[in-house]
Each structure stands twice: as C-alpha cells, then as structure tokens.
Structure 1
Amino acid sequence: MVDGKQVRTLDQTGLAQKGGAVVSDVKVTSAVVEQAPKLADAECDLYLACDALVGTDAQYLAAADPHRTVAVVSTTEAPTGKMIIDTTVSFPEQSSVRAAVDGASAHAFYVDARRLAEDLFGDDQYANILLLGAYKDEYEVARLHLDEDLETEIEAQFGEGSRFAFQLHPPVLRALGMKRKISLGPRSRPALRVLRSMRKVRGTRLDIFGYAGVRRVERALVEEYRDAVLRALDTEGFHSGPDTVVELAALPDMVRGYEHIKLANVAAYRARQAELLAQLERPVVAAGR
C-alpha cells in the first residue's frame, strides 16, 4: 500500500548491465482488486519510457491504447549492449522512435531526461527520478539519505573510511527562526529511519509537516495541474493549438526553489497557466470567404 492506494507490480529485470531491458508493470487501485499485476493489451494509462529504444519495442507498446494512453519518453540516447559490441550499429532516427510511440498512444511527450537532470541537479543519475516526478518532502529526504548505496559511492570517490555529513535546513526549523543549516552525520540514522517510516501519514491529518504553508501550496498544485490538463484536453483549441497544450503540460518546470522563492515561482506559474487555458478556451472561428 502506498499513500492509501493498493499497488501491484511485476518487474522484468533482465540483465540490464549486459544490455537487457528492465520493464515494470504497475497497477494502482483505490481498493483491493484481485487481478494479475501484468498489464494486458491496451490497458496502460501512463506509458513511461526511460529508454526510448526499449519503449518502442512492439511487445511493450502493445499495452498502450491509442485512445487513452499518455506516453512520456526520454529522448536520451543510451547505447545498448549490441551497440557497444558492434560499432556499426547506431541509434535509429528520432522521427522513427516518435512515430512508433505516437501511433500507439493518445498523447506523447518527449524530454531529454539526462540533460535536464544534469542541468537541474548536476548529475544524470537523477534522470529516471525526474521522469517519475518524485516529490521531495521531509519523508522523501529521509529515505534518500538512508540509501544503502550512498556510503558505498562516497567511499568509492573519496576512499574507505571517509567521513561525511548532510547539511540540511528543514522548513520547520526555518519557520521557528533558525537561519543556519544543521549537520547530520551517521548518528542521525535512527531518527531518519523513524521519519522515513512516517511517510504513510503523508497527506493525512497526522502529517505534521503538511500544515506548513509551502507544503499546502505544493500539494494543492497537484490537483490544480491535473485539472488544468484535463480542461486543456477538453477545449476546442486542443487540436488547433497543440503547442499551447505542450507548454501548459511543461509548466511545472517553473516551480523551483525553496520557501519564498518557490512561492514567487508558483504565482508566476498560476498566472501563465491561466493565460494558456484562456487561449485554449477561446471559441475557434472558422475563416470563410
């Protein structure tokens, strides 16, 4: 169970390090439903392709429905095992990749996730997380800082026995007047584990962090964005102004920063969203002679 929803998954892990595909089927329902975790043909609502070549494989695209599926595809060119072994094998043209996805889905969006992750976070390792749209609140911060691979990566870069600490400035402490960051070393792990375990209360009345002003705004934005996209898809201008719809779908990228900086960006985001929706909802007048 995740955030009150029932989740069933099926992972086909393959040998990714040797060029094999990694595919995950995920079903999310409000109530317990006795059904196979694997998606049937034309059953997919969101088709998320972190690797465009894997995403265009017909056996996986069969789960998509050209009338309902929304596809989000990374255009980053990740070499396959065959490409590494045989240098004469190259990537197909982006047009052919997009044609396959466009033909199997109702709406498709393309983004160079690796480049965007490097621009935003300075590390392309966050590319897939970026595509998933992971929300980083206090519980998620605790989970990330308890990553078992983190210490291994630090020792690989700086040597065995390297000491490290996290520099954090929690919004709760900032609201209480603390103006400097706090340093959390290995001894903070028990507290982080407790915080991570509390993620089940996220969004409920027991979520003490959810009462902060910024957190309330952040969570309201989720519903606002969903409603805005649905409104856009239902307008007369949807077919005549696809570029406007694409810009509206990409607007969340405006919401960056922390505290007052984020709130200022939210105001700009809402203003631009209103402008785009107004453009799409204007009556379409056919030109005549």
Structure 2
Amino acid sequence: YAQRYAAKVAKVRSAEIAVSGPSGDLADALPLTRAAAVNLYKLMAYKDEYEVARLYTDGRFAAELAGTFKGGKARVWLAPPIIGAKGPDGKPKKIAFGGWMLDYAFPLMAKMKGLRGGPFDIFGKTEERKMERGLMADYEVTLDRLSAGLKPESLPLALKIAEIPQAIRGYGHVKEASVVTAKAAEAKLWEQWAG
C-alpha cells in the first residue's frame, strides 16, 4: 500500500516538475503533487469496521467516556451494513448495541484488521466497501491521466480535478450521495481537459 501510494505521488510530482520546474517547497510550489498526496491518502485510508473498532478500543474513547459520565451502561448506535436493516425512509437503520460491543466485539474486530481486503474479510464484501475501493482505483487512474497529459496551461484544471475527493464526505448513504455529486463535478471538469 505504502509503495503504491509513494509511486503514484512521485509520478505526479515528476509530471508537475516537468511542466513547472523544480521547487524546494512542496506545499506552495507543487500544488498538484500536494493535492494528489492528500487526496490519495484520503481515499486509501477510508474508515472501515476494523478501523472503527480500533478507535473505540484504543483507550481514548473509554477515558473520555469515564471523564464525562459516572456510572451507567454504555451503548453504541451502529448501522452495520452486514445486517442491512432499513428505516421507513429506505436509509440504513441504526441499532443500539450494549456494552458487550465495546468490551468484546470491538476488541476482537480491531485484532482482525489483517483480514482487510482478503478472502475472509466479511466487511469488505459490502457495497460501501466496494464503492470505496472503486473510488481509490478510479483516483489512481485519474492521477495517471493527469500526469500523462499535464501541460503548463492545464495545471489549474488538473488541480481542480485532483481535489475532487475533498467533496466526498460522510459515511453510508451520506457518503454515497456526496460521491454522486463529486463524480458529476468531476465529469464536467474532464470535459474541459485537453490533455
């Protein structure tokens, strides 16, 4: 993953330097490279069930909960895609899970992150995970296309295209809606591309 990421960003950097000249300051002088690095990371580091479990069990959540509330029983509200319960509006329905989720299920899931992307990854088979992997693959193709056709005059447009993933927000149905909007905006930008 890291090598793939580094290779893609290096390819964009080489293309950008070829049309704009070398620079020492990546943040200011190579904005396309910066956008590619930030957005490819965003798409590669999506938050799946294993990551949610890790975040709940790394100690920070428990410490904040204990510091805010005294006594009582914790519950978490989740809309697990593998259960697929829908509300009357057709959107995923959240279900309350008791403390056993925090005490047993999440710690187990956090340790199972090695299954991610493999044949035993039950969460990776959901439509949402397939969409996220598709977004990552599409963006890698986008970066290749931008790198191959980059010209000095196309840099501003290339930057707008490279920043499209910033419009993708949320989780579940919220994320799906933002993907549709982002893809429509991206298609309009590609119509202007002459690379």
Could you say whether these structures have the same fold, taking a TM-score greater than 0.5 normalized by the shorter chain as the test?
yes
- Alignment partner, residue 166 of structure 1: 76
Name the CA distance, whole Å, in 2 between partners of 1:222 and 1:131: 7
Q: Which has the larger radius of gyration?
A: 1
1:241 aligns with 2:166: no
RMSD after superposition: 3.8
Structure having the higher strand fraction is: 1
- Alignment partner, residue 146 of structure 1: 57
Deviations 1:178-212 (A, max 9, x none): 73321342663221122112211212222112222
1:208 aligns with 2:125: no
Deviation (angstroms), 1:103: 8.2
Partner AA of 1:267 in structure 2: V
Partner AA of 2:134 in structure 1: A
Contact 1:232 1:280 survives alignment (8 Å): no
- Alignment partner, residue 90 of structure 2: none
Deviations 1:107-128 (A, max 9, x none): 5437xxxxxxxxxxxxxxxxxx
Name the CA distance, whole Å, in 2 between partners of 1:270 and 1:172: 26
Structure having the higher helix fraction is: 2
**In the TM superposition, what are the counterparts of 1:257-276 in structure 2 within 5 Å?**
257-276=170-189
Deviations 1:69-128 (A, max 9, x none): 99xxxxxxxxxxxxxxxxxxxxxxxxxxx9733688685437xxxxxxxxxxxxxxxxxx
1:281 aligns with 2:191: no
Classify the secondary structure of the residue corresponding to 1:171: coil
Name the CA distance, whole Å, in 2 between partners of 1:101 and 1:29: 19
Contact 2:39 2:162 survives alignment (8 Å): no
Classify the secondary structure of the residue corresponding to 1:136: coil
TM-score of the pair, normalised by structure 2: 0.70
Classify the secondary structure of the residue corresponding to 2:149: coil
1:217/1:45 Cα in 2 relative to 1: closer, same or farther (>3 Å)?
closer
TM-score of the pair, normalised by structure 1: 0.50
1:177/1:278 Cα in 2 relative to 1: closer, same or farther (>3 Å)?
closer
**In the TM superposition, what are the counterparts of 1:169-248 in structure 2 within 5 Å?**
169-173=79-83, 175-177=84-86, 179-185=93-99, 188-236=102-150, 238-248=151-161
Partner AA of 1:259 in structure 2: G
1:281/1:172 Cα in 2 relative to 1: closer, same or farther (>3 Å)?
same
Name the CA distance, whole Å, in 1 between partners of 2:80 and 2:109: 13
Unaligned 5+ residue runs, structure 1?
Answer: 6-27, 31-43, 48-63, 71-97, 111-128, 283-289
Name the CA distance, whole Å, in 2 between partners of 1:147 and 1:100: 35
How many correspondences in the alignment? 179
Classify the secondary structure of the residue corresponding to 1:281: coil
Classify the secondary structure of the residue corresponding to 2:182: helix
Identity %: 28
Unaligned 5+ residue runs, structure 2?
Answer: 17-22, 88-92
Partner AA of 1:138 in structure 2: E
- Alignment partner, residue 35 of structure 1: none
Deviations 1:132-172 (A, max 9, x none): 5331111111111001233223334x266675432222222
Deviation (angstroms), 1:252: 1.1
- Larger relative contact order, structure 1 or 2 (CA cutoff 8 Å, min sep 6): 2
**In the TM superposition, what are the counterparts of 1:116-155 in structure 2 within 5 Å?**
133=42, 134-155=45-66
Deviations 1:9-39 (A, max 9, x none): xxxxxxxxxxxxxxxxxxx458xxxxxxxxx
Contact 1:155 1:162 survives alignment (8 Å): no
1:226/1:183 Cα in 2 relative to 1: closer, same or farther (>3 Å)?
same
